Amino acid sequence: MGLWDKLRNELIDIVEWTEPSQSDILCYRFPRYNNEIKMGAKLTVREGQACVFVNEGRIADVFTPGMYTLQTQNLPILSTLLGWKYGFNSPFKAEVYFVSTRQWTDQKWGTQNPIMLRDPEFGPVRVRAFGSYAFKVADPATFLRQLVATDPSFETFEITNQLRNMIVSRFADAIAQLKVPVLDLAGNYEKVGGQLQQRFSPDLAAIGLTLTAFYIENISLPQEVEKALDERTKMGVLGDMRKFTEYQSAQAIRDAAQNPGGIAGIGAGLAAGYGVANQMSGALAGVGAAPAAPPPLPSAAAFYAGINGQQQGPYDMATLQNMARQGSLTRATMVWKQGMSGWAAAESVPELASLFASLPPPLPQ
């Protein structure tokens, strides 16, 4: 040990950490010569900080913002670990970690690959999303235990990738379970963000962090789908395609009148324009109109039959065919339908003659 080191150890220590500007340090280990801290040293913990004392790999006391004189009275856990029963004032060895507990804002997240969804209107679709979030250390001891370990300077880039992957995974689950149509997602960003914050809380609490804000900036569809939506919107804005074409034609006539050389081809242009307008108007009318109802089925012929000396019926062709098979309707049975001049034998009526084609003729007398 040098003379200067010996003299420095005789001084009253001041333990503090002033975070440098433009710094992304989440946790900083205070440098001490041989890790010795003199009893009675001054500890300053500023707002947005917490101080954790570690003795032989075990987390001891945690200090919140304020100024402290380090004594056995305010180091109860460390005093117990070192076995100070009578308030010894000798220097002690401990590792001191300052943890930044302020908010870390403007952290970016985004889906690296599209998320597959089943949309009620479009069917299976792929969406991408991105936004920002803010987090902070909620439990310095858990954060030190789970992430920092013995890292002398733990920075935000060491945890942001894990947080981004966690957010994307939970985002896919939340947006699929909400079952909000893709076209309605823009009005439900806050709802989706609230669901995500609830899903993140247990995962972040396990590593000593908490999510203080979460924002969805955009949820987008593939370019091909967005282009199709733009075309659909354009057609709705244009409305009556015939009137739009007439307006375009009038504009073309005005422009051609200003250019004498262009009048010759205006007739062909108008004819083609009207043809396209007719086709598009028909297509648009077909898209919005309900399918035409089919015409009513033709009424089947109904015959009356004289059976056992009584008029019975009317019967349709299916019933008459069944009666012919059973024998209740024979070739000589008298039948009549509307439009016939009188009763006639069934075999003489052309419509009924086919019913007896597969039946044998009557036995000769």
Q: Parse the chain into domains and list their residue ranges.
A: 3-100, 104-224, 303-356
Those residues of the chain that have pLDDT short of 70 are: 1-12, 33-35, 84-88, 235-244, 247, 259-301, 359, 361-363, 365
Q: Is 92 left (phi over 0), alpha (psi -120 to 50) or beta?
A: beta
Contact 329, 317 (CB under 8 A): no
pLDDT tens digits, 83-142:
766 666 778 888 999 999 999 999 999 988 888 888 887 788 888 899 999 999 999 999
CATH number of 104-224: 3.30.479.30
What pLDDT score does 287 carry?
Answer: 47
pLDDT value, residue 225:
79
Q: Is the pTM of this model over 0.85?
A: no
Residue 314, pLDDT score? 86
CA distance 262 to 258: 9
Report percent pLDDT > 70 for the chain.
77
What was the pLDDT predicted at 243?
66
Give me the pLDDT at residue 98, please.
Answer: 96
pLDDT score recorded for residue 119: 82
Return the half-sphere exposure (C-beta side, CA atoms, 13 A cut-off) of residue 145: 13
DSSP 114-174: PEEEEETTTEEEEEEEEEEEEEEES-HHHHIIIIITT-SEEETHHHHHHHHHHHHHHHHHH
